[in-house]
Chain A
Amino acid sequence: MCVFCERFGDPEIGGGLWYLNPRNYGRQLYRRKRPGAAPSEFGRGYRGAATTADPLEIRNDTPDKLPELVNTWWANLDKTRPAQVIPLEDAIKVAALVHPFASMMCECRLWTRAREERNEAVYSCGGLGAGMLKWERWPERYKGGINFMSYEETKEWLIKWNTKGMVAILMTYGAPYVGGLCMCDYPDCGMIRMRLDVGVGCLKSHHVAIVDYDLCNGCGVCVQRCQFGALKFEISTDKAHIDQYRCFGCGVCATGCPRGAISLKRREEIPALAEVW
């Protein structure tokens, strides 16, 4: 069980997974602020620039201080806005759970690649919950607008991006309030990049990928799809190998495998990986 499941999961709902607990969608929105109280943690540091600047400066100029930063971040998970990688099946379950679900322009790719997604066909970022109704009120601020989708459309949208090789990441805006479900890749996506390069930002999923060596024929498709550098193709055995410690359990390799040789296994079933997040 990850930190979130222990604190925010319900053992009777969705097998204890925190993101399948409906309580975590919109909890913060219904909390009334006391008059004169300080602004809540919700929404604080929304601007990506403000939250990513400091770790990157440390990584660039004084990398010796990085372990300290990483330890502080992990000790204060509930005060930051962490994300978690989830496999496609769980993303579809989340889509069934929440309403409304809307796709929109990815702000990470706008920053790193100046890629402007200005129509429904290319929106790769997903927002969910009642917070989306706010974006609709501010079409000018939210560049390109947003596209509200039904459950069937959301499912198609998730499968479309998964087929292209994007990883589903559940974004929290002040844990455990879930506000987004983005389809990300490395290095353009900020969350994956912060985790791989700096060590903060997002948690691994509750799964790890396992290769069935009897079925694997060494075609190498999965190696191209891995965004985390966990997969490598070994020439001498003619099989794909997964570094389980680096595996984030997104399942993108499994959906791309033409022979169905890769399957996802729960992290808890492997003792060495049970506490690796």
Chain B
Amino acid sequence: MYIPINWKKAPKIEIDQTKCTVPMYCKLCLQACPQACFRVTEAQFQRFIEQDREKLGDFVLTAPYRYDCTLCNVCVEVCPVDAISITSEEDTDDK
């Protein structure tokens, strides 16, 4: 059994959902992130109905894998609407 140890603190990736409206259609950050930290999910699950990738609010961008983030800032640079901001907890700690 493999249990990963000695991990760093997960950086905080904040996504402004009012700016990021069509992540499935834009998909720039999803494809640019070297660590694949982002994930796009359906905003609400409806049986037998396919969500429209160009429609506002059908998909939501999240960053569930943010523990893998290396703070390279590629996603911030690539985002056309400046919706992503990354803060590392190590910056705010007094250690």
Q: What is the interface of chain A, defined by CB distance below 8 A to chain B?
A: 47, 49, 52-53, 56-57, 59-61, 63, 66-67, 70, 74, 110-115, 138, 140-141, 143, 187-188, 193, 195-199, 246, 276-277
Contacts and interface: CB of A to CB of B under 8 A. Distances in A.
Interface string B1-20: 11110010010000000000
A138 B47 CA distance: 10
Q: How large is the interface on B (under 10, 10 to 19, 20 to 34, 35 or more residues)?
A: 20 to 34
B30 A114 contact: yes
A60 B64 contact: yes
B27 A114 contact: yes
Interface in B54-73: 64-68
Interface of B: 1-4, 7, 10, 23-24, 27, 30-31, 35-36, 38-41, 45, 47-50, 64-68
Contact of B1 (A74, A112, A193, A246): A74
Interface centre among B36, B48, B49 (most CB of A within 10 A): B36
Nearest to B34: A187
Contacts of A246: 2
A114 B41 contact: no
30 contacts: A47-B45, A56-B67, A57-B64, A60-B67, A63-B7, A66-B3, A70-B1, A70-B3, A74-B1, A111-B39, A112-B30, A112-B36, A112-B38, A113-B31, A114-B30, A114-B31, A115-B31, A138-B48, A141-B48, A141-B50, A143-B50, A187-B65, A188-B36, A195-B2, A196-B4, A197-B4, A197-B68, A199-B2, A246-B2, A276-B1
Given A56-B67, A113-B30, A199-B2, 10 more contacts: A52-B64, A70-B3, A111-B41, A114-B27, A114-B31, A115-B31, A138-B48, A140-B50, A193-B36, A276-B1
A72 to B, nearest CB: 12
A49 B59 CA distance: 13
A186 B27 CA distance: 19
B68 to A, nearest CB: 7
Contacts of A56: 64-65, 67
Nearest to A74: B1
A85 to B, nearest CB: 13
Contacts of A60: 10, 64, 66-67
A140 B48 CA distance: 6
A114 B40 contact: yes
